[in-house]
Amino acid sequence: MGLSELSPKFFKIEVEDGVGIVKLNRPPANAHNLEMLRELDNIIVESRFDDNVKVIVITSNTPRFFSAGFDINEIKDKSPEYIGLSSQYSKEVMLRMMSTRKLIIASINGHCMGGGLELAMACDIRFIANDDNIKLGMPEVSNLALIPGEGGTQFLARIVGRSKAIYLMTTGKTLTPKEAYELGLVERLVEPEKLYTETMDFARKVASGPAKAVGFAKLAVNEGLDIPLYTAFALEREMQNQALASEDAKEGARAFFEKRKPVFRGK
């Protein structure tokens, strides 16, 4: 089974030009529950094995919201143990995204709050619409007397720095897309009407290039940052050895000596 053959309840899926397009689809706010997380987990696993998918784009099919985060009704109605186990599972899904050897891009086209922002931060690169009506933030501390429970304390600190992360979580401050861009929380700020097109143009470019090498670089960064430097160098060496054995690496060397542009196939 390939990614395009999945029929999840809470996502819409397409595969186009080597790009797996995954659209959150749980109106009204794409708030996720355990069932939705299981579907996302299955989507990521299926993407790993699908040779037709070189890059993954995660965006929203729901107007106004990328995701409002974990469903507050779950917190209200379920036991603390259930919520704790769901939070742990969510972290495991995020880790699976980070350890998948394919670039994952968040295309943020609506409000991105709490667990929704945590999902976006688990992606490798974030594009966002330059629309001041869109808000990003982590309101768990100030609104619910909780802390971000889907990896947010760690993701945010690693992206914007320790003190800024603590400030944003403590105050529950919401950010505009421009403020998020200036903080380094997102990599690309795009006019709203061009967001999908520019995201897909970038994704297609990666998918048509040395996508396997991109995946190895991603893993070297994600898995190397939290281990000693000497061990991280060993990991880099292993990723490089695997890249050297690829068809794309051989094509790159041939093209260099033949003074022509390489034709990569992601193999």
pLDDT tens profile 54-90: 999 999 999 999 999 999 888 777 888 988 899 999 9
Rounded to an integer, what distance in angstroms lies between the CA atom of residue 216 and that of residue 230? 18
Q: What is 1-206's CATH superfamily? A: 2-enoyl-CoA Hydratase; Chain A, domain 1 (3.90.226.10)
pLDDT at 1 over 80: no
pLDDT at 210 over 90: yes
Give me the chain's average pLDDT, please. Answer: 94
pLDDT value at residue 73? 85
Q: What is 209-256's CATH superfamily? A: Lyase 2-enoyl-coa Hydratase, Chain  A, domain 2 (1.10.12.10)
Q: Do 46 and 1 touch, CB atoms closer than 8 A?
A: yes
Q: How far is CA 156 from the centre of its chain?
A: 13
Helix (H, G, I), strand (E, B) or coil at 124: coil
Domain ranges of the chain: 1-206, 209-256
Two tokens, residue 152 = 């947010």
Mean pLDDT across 100-105: 97
pTM: 0.94
Q: Which residues are catalytic?
A: 118, 140
pLDDT band per the 50, 70, 90 thresholds, residue 251 = confident
Neighbouring residues of 170: CB distance < 8 A, sequence distance ≥ 6: 141, 142
Two tokens, residue 234 = 């060993």
